[in-house]
A = this chain, B = another copy of it.
């Protein structure tokens, strides 16, 4: 088996087992609340933890008429949202369990008698203590594992409402995703190295994607490239690209287009057609290039963000680090002092 830059295979596999063990916990919580009844679901977090929730919000639009709201935690707490009430369910996510804004919204809701489900790594954390239910999120690294927990939770809710018939097949298939992602990491790795070598010193990177892939575009550009590499980025959705950002493109502009596997692919391909003409520095990230074994084909579009995440947040970030020489763990401001 190939050694990959900064990839700890054993740790990744152990993380998979930990997450798969939590599936039953997530499902039990969804079943209990489904029996009790609820009127809407709020997903709330900050930064990178919002990204998987953004994808869930897009699936919700197509699959259910249940109102599902995705809210930045700090904004939700100050906004006095009228739809957030005792009949709501709040789902939060923070690996460390000490993210200030996320702990605050959980506390705020629990005090108001709103059921709070938190995905978090530490059962003793402030977030866990402020929650009604905790889904243990005990992986070491990998945003894909955060998606998996949220999916088991959310799609189980939908299944219980009659909005997602093939839940069992989907949920079982999800357990096979980590093995698939290991192989995908291997295939993508040389491409990641090549991309990093060509673009690590670009004055700015443009990142584009749409709907269920947007969270990954948002996360990678802001929480990885900006925060951990101090690389300038601008991210924009594929359809909105044509309402401003397009004018900045010239032959020498580094542009990254993340293609969706859903109907949004048309929106991405409209960008691709334009970009292929006007820049020589276009990079396409297309999850469709990678096979998934033991996973139902009809749900590929739902796990595409996980494939994208493993390629970018794991592989591409590692290779950017090796070219820029900027340690991914170094911060000058973030969590260095109070602000």
Interface residues of A (CB under 8 A from B): 46-48, 50, 58, 61-65, 67, 72-75, 78-83, 101, 203-204, 210-211, 222-224, 226-228, 230, 232-234, 236-237, 239-240, 242-249, 263-264, 266-267, 270, 273-274, 278, 331-334, 339
Contacts and interface: CB of A to CB of B under 8 A. Distances in A.
Number of identical protomers: 2
17 contacts: A46-B240, A47-B243, A62-B79, A65-B82, A72-B239, A72-B240, A75-B211, A80-B263, A101-B239, A222-B244, A227-B243, A227-B247, A234-B234, A243-B334, A246-B334, A247-B332, A247-B333
A264 B75 contact: yes
Contacts of A222: 236, 240, 243-245
Max chain B C-beta neighbours (<10 A), residue from A64, A239, A246: A239
B61 A83 contact: yes
A226 B244 CA distance: 6
Contacts of A234: 232-234
Given A73-B239, A78-B267, A232-B248, 17 more contacts: A46-B242, A47-B240, A47-B243, A50-B240, A61-B81, A62-B79, A62-B80, A65-B82, A67-B67, A74-B267, A78-B263, A79-B264, A223-B244, A230-B247, A242-B339, A246-B333, A249-B333
B263 A79 contact: yes
Contacts of A224: 244
Nearest to A203: B203
Nearest to A46: B243
Nearest to A264: B78
A83 B65 contact: yes
A72 to B, nearest CB: 6
Nearest to A275: B339
A75 B243 contact: no
A210 B263 contact: no
